[in-house]
């Protein structure tokens, strides 16, 4: 079995799940639930590759700026 093209959204989701604290195996399970059969090793490789190459992925690269809206709400002082 040769290499297959992994869509950018799938890799991005794997990276977001990493930021949420999921293990590589759990991230692979989530992607599996979406019908994408990837191994935890593949997800680990994506994280490693992004860290080393500064977000350059398979076919091109992401935009120079990614805007993320994140809101923290404290409830009961926590």
- The domain segmentation of the chain, as residue ranges, is 1-78
Q: Taking the model in full, what pTM does it have?
A: 0.48
Residue 45 CA to residue 24 CA, distance in Å, equals 10
Residue 24 CB neighbours (<10 A) = 19
**What tens digit of pLDDT does each residue of 15-67 get?**
787 778 888 888 888 888 877 777 788 778 877 777 666 555 445 565 666 66
């Amino acid at each position: 079995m040769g290499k297959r093209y992994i869509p950018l959204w799938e890799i991005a989701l794997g990276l977001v799940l990493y930021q949420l604290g999921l293990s590589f195996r759990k991230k692979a399970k989530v992607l599996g639930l979406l019908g994408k059969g990837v191994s935890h090793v593949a997800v680990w490789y994506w994280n490693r590759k992004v860290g080393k190459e500064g977000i350059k992925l398979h076919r091109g690269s992401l935009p120079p700026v990614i805007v993320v809206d994140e809101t923290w709400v404290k409830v009961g002082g926590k």
